[in-house]
Structure 1
């Protein structure tokens, strides 16, 4: 059974979400503050975290930064903060998705299943032995679901890994933001380029790339992104 950790101090919301997800076949654990969430997460195996931002003791952003130090478990932020800046910050700190309160429980469940499905695709589907993609000094190992730069293992979230794989499998091909969203998120693109921008920025920072001195991923202005070939 898929286990989900809900980090929410509003008991009305946490109880409502717990009841719905339990009836939908999930195992649910609730933490009412950030410190408890970190302790519980360390003690159990969760497949996904639902995280409120405004928590007593330790806010959601700090909780997420702590969790991301050792885990790539999908994190969905559920928050009343609905500004583009808040969403960008949440995604920038390592969230995989962001849903604004008040939200539909049907939509929340669908997003949970989509995020879990993306992760389990890599662990449940058989991979070709030794399948790797090499971009200069980056090695992308599909079987182990990891990226190495030299001897250093680079921790990527599932979506960051998916984006890098998509580009690496098609060197030289330019993908628009809409195409990346459709292929990685597997949802219809709603015109929110900020989601792609934030994930791409975070991915580039982790692999040591930048928009001014691109080594691996090149921005094709007005179109999208591609993996650089032979320095071009």
Structure 2
């Protein structure tokens, strides 16, 4: 397969899964949905396939031979930012946060439904397109206390120290920053950031908020139990 750009109906996805049956099932479904699929079965092979084929999105299992999915995510994100959907057999919060911390954008816990996998891939790719459109627009900036956001450059500073956020973390922060001090429900955040209105994704929102807090400071994101979150101005 060449690494030349593909039309919208043939977006390239790298599927990394060491279980042949799962790898084949995911590949068959994505091909049926119109995607161009590249496959890998271990950590080194995943990095090599990423370098050779330049996929637009990576579906990445956590447990892999060679080195695990977290290390794969670190290495490919260091080369080129790309949306990563991680597959994990464990849904413990610490395992999810490790994945988000190395640059994953979303995760699915095994066993998962193919319909949900396809839907999440579509959402991630739409968000990439939206981010590109925003980057091409006139730059927007926001300052909330000592937190500074450059929307055009997609960069964030806390007390003049830059903090590196994943694309999802940045979009979540921008959503909260659009109405500082206002409590946004988990459902609204999931609809606005992940693009799934009416869907239930409170655990996904909570996990990303925790990852965001670790980078910008826990005191900047206030929890209203049973409702949602608000971004607060903090100055030091």
Classify the TM-score, shorter chain: 0.7 to 0.9
Query: Do structure 1's residue 225 and structure 2's residue 232 form an aligned pair?
Result: no
Per the TM alignment, residue 167 of structure 1 is displaced from its structure 2 partner at its CA by: 1.2
Task: Label 1:135 to 1:98 Cα distance change in 2 as closer, same or farther (>3 A).
Answer: same
Decide whether the 8 Å contact of 1:88 with 1:194 is kept in 2. Answer: no
Query: Do structure 1's residue 109 and structure 2's residue 115 form an aligned pair?
Result: no
Rounded to whole Å, the distance in 2 between the matches of 1:4 and 1:128 is 27
Partner of 2:167: 158
Rounded to whole Å, the distance in 2 between the matches of 1:95 and 1:128 is 26
Matches within 5 A, 1:192-231: 193-207=202-216, 209-210=217-218, 214=219, 216-229=220-233
Task: Label 1:63 to 1:127 Cα distance change in 2 as closer, same or farther (>3 A).
Answer: closer
The two structures, once aligned, show a CA RMSD in angstroms of 2.7
Q: How many residues align?
A: 224
Decide whether the 8 Å contact of 1:127 with 1:142 is kept in 2. Answer: no
Which piece of structure 1 moves more, 99-108 or 44-53?
99-108
Per the TM alignment, residue 222 of structure 1 is displaced from its structure 2 partner at its CA by: 4.8
Matches within 5 A, 1:26-175: 26-69=35-78, 71-79=80-88, 81-85=89-93, 86-87=95-96, 89-124=98-133, 128-149=137-158, 152-175=161-184
Decide whether the 8 Å contact of 2:145 with 2:233 is kept in 1. Answer: no
Decide whether the 8 Å contact of 2:38 with 2:53 is kept in 1. Answer: no
Decide whether the 8 Å contact of 1:72 with 1:155 is kept in 2. Answer: no
Rounded to whole Å, the distance in 2 between the matches of 1:20 and 1:42 is 24
Rounded to whole Å, the distance in 1 between the matches of 2:135 and 2:169 is 21
Q: For structure 2, list consecutive stretches of 5 or more residues without a partner in the other structure.
A: 1-5
Per the TM alignment, residue 135 of structure 1 is displaced from its structure 2 partner at its CA by: 2.3
Which piece of structure 1 moves more, 163-172 or 7-16?
7-16
Rounded to whole Å, the distance in 1 between the matches of 2:234 and 2:105 is 32
Deviations 1:69-108 (A, max 9, x none): 45542111224x1444444554454432222344333332
Decide whether the 8 Å contact of 1:91 with 1:195 is kept in 2. Answer: no
Rounded to whole Å, the distance in 2 between the matches of 1:218 and 1:70 is 34
Q: For structure 1, list consecutive stretches of 5 or more residues without a partner in the other structure.
A: none
Decide whether the 8 Å contact of 1:87 with 1:98 is kept in 2. Answer: yes
Decide whether the 8 Å contact of 1:92 with 1:198 is kept in 2. Answer: no
Partner of 2:23: 14
Per the TM alignment, residue 150 of structure 1 is displaced from its structure 2 partner at its CA by: 6.1
Partner of 2:13: 4
- Structure 1 counterpart SS, 2:212: helix
- TM-score by structure 1 length? 0.81
Partner of 2:3: none
